[in-house]
Amino acid sequence: MRTQPKKPIPADLKFGTVFTEHMVSARFDVDLGWSAPELSAYQKLSLEPSASVLHYGQAIFEGMKAFEVADGGIALFRPDRHAKRFQGSADRTCMVQVPEKLFLECVERLVRADEGYVPDAPDTSLYLRPTLIATEPFLGVRPARQYLFFVIACPVGAYYAEGFQPISIWVEEEYVRAAQGGLGAAKVGANYVASLLAAERAKEAGYAQVLWTDAVEHRYLEEVGTMNVFVRIGNRVITPPAGGTTLAGVTRDSVLRLLRDWKIEAEERPIAVDELVQAGRRGELHEMFGTGTGAVISPVGKLGFRGESLAIGDGRAGELSQRLFVALRDIQRGTAPDPHGWLHRVV
């Protein structure tokens, strides 16, 4: 059970705008190893102007959540999976791995320190942002020898202003988010800055997000915005393979496990935009949705492609996406069985 009173949180809580009182950090030096984690006030970072993160982009992060569960306690959702993915991102960017034990210790310590900020309203949570940056002051292209690992948190509501309502997306055929052999499978800031221009153009055209296609032919689906993507054609659910150019999403993996539990056929294979368009014309494109920690499940109601608009199903949130959203929400809140042991109790 909570030991702190609940903090006042705005009723119109927007994602990523209100931060908690504390942060937890630890430093690494190749000669000294890891320092002990330190809990401090949420504060500005002090970096040398020559810190390598500012010049060579060695920076990775994770996004994960803590929830108030049915008995009033607090639990994390699949933190071990996030810790392992963080290590994979570190490997790809030649950064030091944060040991899983240290990663979890820092996350748990911050949640306990700021447990009053964990909201209890429906579809809210405490979003956690573990981050690793290179801090060694030097100019030269090589991996840094000093790093700062820190965790901050913010209470959040729905990721999209629409909430659990279908969004419209634009098929991007000019700009590229990631290519084979690049950083697409790691959670690095470079992937996100690469997506901004296309996303802004899509919004100017009246679409909420971009549907990324492959970097070579612009033919195959990759991600929708910053989320993994699923489609339901006929009675079959399909999602592009993870890895290489796309992040192996924790929510994506959870959705695939739930579908298998429910005996619903799910394939991991390349999906061409033409396949979507043809299925839509046949009336067989029943659903499309994105999955991610921020939005959990985000249904897609309309697809913009080469000046045309294609309705997905009847334009409303589909039956399967609604079922998945409710199932994940109930497991995260501790109001449904947790057969896979996804919840990690903190308080």
Give the 3-state secondary structure of residue 233. strand
Give pLDDT, residue 314.
87
Residues 180 and 273 in one domain: yes
Beta carbons within 10 angstroms of residue 308's beta carbon: 9
Domain check: are 328 and 234 in the same one?
yes
Report percent pLDDT > 70 for the chain.
99
Domain-embedded: residue 3: no
**3-state DSSP call for residue 236?**
strand
Q: Which pLDDT band holds residue 339 (cuts at 50, 70, 90)?
A: very high
Residue at which a domain ends, from 137, 157, 177: 157
Per the structure, how many domains does the chain have?
2
Give residue 43's pLDDT.
97
Cα–Cα distance, 220 to 231 (Å, whole number)? 13
pLDDT in tens, 267-324: 999 999 999 999 998 999 999 999 999 999 999 999 999 888 888 988 889 999 999 9
> 181 and 321 share a domain?
yes
Would the pLDDT of 220 be above 70?
yes
Using CA atoms, how far apart are residues 71 and 186, in angstroms rounded to an integer?
A: 36
Residue 47, in any domain of the structure:
yes
pLDDT at 125: 95
pLDDT digits (tens, 9 = 90+) for 197-218: 999 999 999 999 999 999 999 9
Residue at 90: amino acid letter: A
Angle at 103 between CA 100 and CA 105, to 5 degrees: 105
Does residue 342 belong to any structural domain of this protein? no
**In 3-state terms, what secondary structure has residue 10?**
coil
Do 241 and 269 form a contact (C-beta atoms < 8 A)? yes
pLDDT tens, residue by residue, 283-297: 999 999 999 999 999
Residue 4 lies in a domain: no
CATH code at 30?
3.30.470.10
Do 81 and 195 share a domain, yes or no? Answer: no
Position 172 confidence tier, pLDDT thresholds 50, 70, 90? very high
Cα–Cα distance measured from residue 110 to residue 101, given in angstroms and rounded to the nearest whole number: 14
Residue 224 shares a structural domain with residue 273: yes
Degrees (nearest 5) of the Cα angle 307, 310, 316? 140
> What is the distance between the terminal CA atoms of the chain, rounded to a whole angstrom?
6
What's 19-62 look like in SS3? Answer: CCCEEEEEEEECCCEECCCEEEECCCCCCCCCEHHHHHCCEEEC
Predicted confidence at residue 5, as pLDDT, reads 86
Q: Tell whether pTM > 0.75.
A: yes
Question: Do 181 and 307 fall into the same domain?
Answer: yes
Which phi-psi region, left, alpha or beta, contains residue 94 (left: φ > 0; alpha: ψ -120 to 50)? left
Say if CB 44 and CB 89 are below 8 A apart. no
How far apart CA 137 and CA 174 sit, in angstroms, is 37
- Indicate if the pLDDT at residue 162 is higher than 70: no
Q: Are residues 292 and 193 in the same domain?
A: yes
Instruction: Average the pLDDT over 258-262 and give the result.
Output: 97
- Cβ burial of 142 (10 Å; 0-12, 13-18, 19+) is exposed
User: How many Cα atoms sit within 13 Å of 86 on the Cβ side?
Assistant: 28
Phi, psi dihedrals of residue 319, rounded to the nearest 5°: -60, -40
User: What phi, psi does 133 have (nearest 5°)?
Assistant: -130, 150
User: Is residue 310 a part of any domain in this protein?
Assistant: yes
Examine the fold and report which residue of 157, 190, 222 is the final residue of a domain before the chain moves on.
Answer: 157
Asked whether residue 162 is domain-assigned, the answer is no
On whether both 112 and 228 belong to a single domain, the answer is no
Q: At what angle do helices 250-261 and 319-332 cross, to 10 degrees?
A: 110
In a domain, residue 291? The reply is yes
* Per-residue pLDDT reduced to its tens digit, 180-194: 999 999 999 999 999
Picking from 103, 128, 157, the residue at the C-terminal end of a domain is 157
Task: State which residues form the domain around 193.
Answer: 167-332
Residue 228 counted as domain residue: yes
